[in-house]
Structures are given as C-alpha cells and as structure tokens.
Amino acid sequence: MTRVLLLPRLNELGVMRIIDDVGSEMPTVKEVLDILDEHSSFLWFAPSGGSVSAESAVDIARDIRQIAQRHGFPESSDQKSRSAFDAEVSTWLGDQEILSTGEALRDDVWAFLSSALLADVVSWRFPDRNLERFQGGVRNAFQRLWIRGVTLDLGPDAADRWQLVHGLSEDAMVQIFERASLAGDRKLARTIASAWMVTSGRIGRGRMEEVMRAATKMVRLRNEIIDLGELEQSVLTREIEKIFFRVAGVTDDLPASLPLATADS
C-alpha cells in the first residue's frame, strides 16, 4: 500500500496576497517564503490520512525547476520552448508515485507549488502572470500538466508511452482538459486524443484547430445521448473517429484504427 505523503497547501487568500505583494516582477522563492512567514495562517496540511512531508514538495519543485532550466528558464522563453517544457513536465508528473494519491487532486496543493515554490517558473512560463495560473484548478500552471500526464499515459508497457502528450497541440489539450465531461472520463479523453492524432495524420495539423473545436462539440452532444465511456474500446474508437472524419470532410471509409494499447485496457 502506498504511503500517503501530505503536501503543503495554500489557500486562495494566500495566493492573492503573494501576487499582490510581489507586484509585476518575477518573484524569487525567498521573497515568497518571507511573505508566507508573516502570514502562516495561509498555509496548512491535511490533519490526517498520512504523514506530513514538506520536503516532498521541495523535491517536486526542484525537479520541475531543472526541467524549466533545460528549456530556457529564466533567460529565454518562446512558444517552442514553452511547449517542450509543458510536454516534459506532463510526462514527469504523470509518472510520479507520490502524486498517485488523493493529494494531487487538491487544488490547494498545486496552489502552494505554483505560488510559493515555483512562482518564478510560473511567471516565466506565463509572462502575463494571470492569477488562475497560480491558483489551483484546471488552468493552474502545473495541475493542468499533471492531469494531461495521468490521463494520456498509455502505460509503461506501451511502445510509445507518451505519444499523445507529445503529439497533441495546445489547443487540442485545452479542448479536452477544460471540459469536465470529456476530461473526467479517462478512456473517452484518451480516445479523443487518439482520434485527433489519426485525423491530423490525414488532413495535416494546420486544419486541426477548427476540426477539434467542432468535433468536441459533437462528442459532447453525443455523450448526452449515450454514455460513450461505457462503449467497448474498439466501438468507442470507431464512434469518435467517425465524428472527426465527418467534421474534417474525410469521406473514404477506412477501417477504424486499432484501439491504443494501454496498461489498463
């Protein structure tokens, strides 16, 4: 049984206090921790259910910072380096046993990592420093990457375990993971991602933003009529690919792709 390590949590008032106090500059870790020293009531741990481990949060932050440094932090940042950073952090977070417990489901855990230990990295990744990138939730700088990693992970035995994480565009990720009805069903989310890959291979990535937005609307509507997540994988794959092909104007009738081989399929 996995030992649950309880990570530090930061409430919404703490996040807003840090952002207000550091102003428009990229904050250092020391500046942020000095603020929290004066306002310790913003910080807390779950009172039960495991062992308190602030050190684990420091370790996670250290490794994410090293990934950021490999992609230009803090000196440079362009779209290509930011995309590469997102993909590497997604795969790294998705493979961390410490984040396989309920702690990773807590918004305030991610708020602490983003606002206290990695505020400078978040400011580098998102120069506009929007509050939602520091607060917990689906748009948090790292929580969104963790969700992508654990959802799109094809398993350690897959020939290309992280092909979906590396293959999808940012727009495709947003279309899936900012819609609870799609992201909340891992099997459905992964099948949509696979259909995006198959369709982009047929028509090119340039048209996929328009196709993805139309297809996800149709999938959500279809999911209101029948529970797509309950379909057998090969049937679901065919159903989703038919929607993508119809939207993309692909008229030939090729056999459906083989379902992705995953650890839990």
In the predicted model, is pLDDT for residue 242 greater than 70? yes
The string of DSSP letters for 106-138 reads -HHHHHHIIIIISHHHHHHH-TT--GGGTSSST
**What pLDDT band is residue 263 in, cutting at 50, 70 and 90?**
very low
Q: Token pair 């990229």 is at which residue?
A: 26
Contacts of 71 (CB under 8 A, 6+ apart): 81, 82, 84, 85, 88
**More confident of the two residues 89 and 229:** 89
**What pLDDT band is residue 33 in, cutting at 50, 70 and 90?**
confident
Mean pLDDT of 61-81: 94
Of the ranges 24-28, 119-123, 194-198, which one carries the lowest mean pLDDT score? 24-28
In the predicted model, is pLDDT for residue 130 greater than 90? yes
| HSE-CB of 200 using CA atoms within 13 angstroms | 17
Of the ranges 3-17, 30-44, 89-103, 200-214, which one carries the lowest mean pLDDT score? 30-44
Whole-number pLDDT of residue 1 = 52
Mean pLDDT of 197-211: 96
Name beta bridge partners: 51. Answer: 5
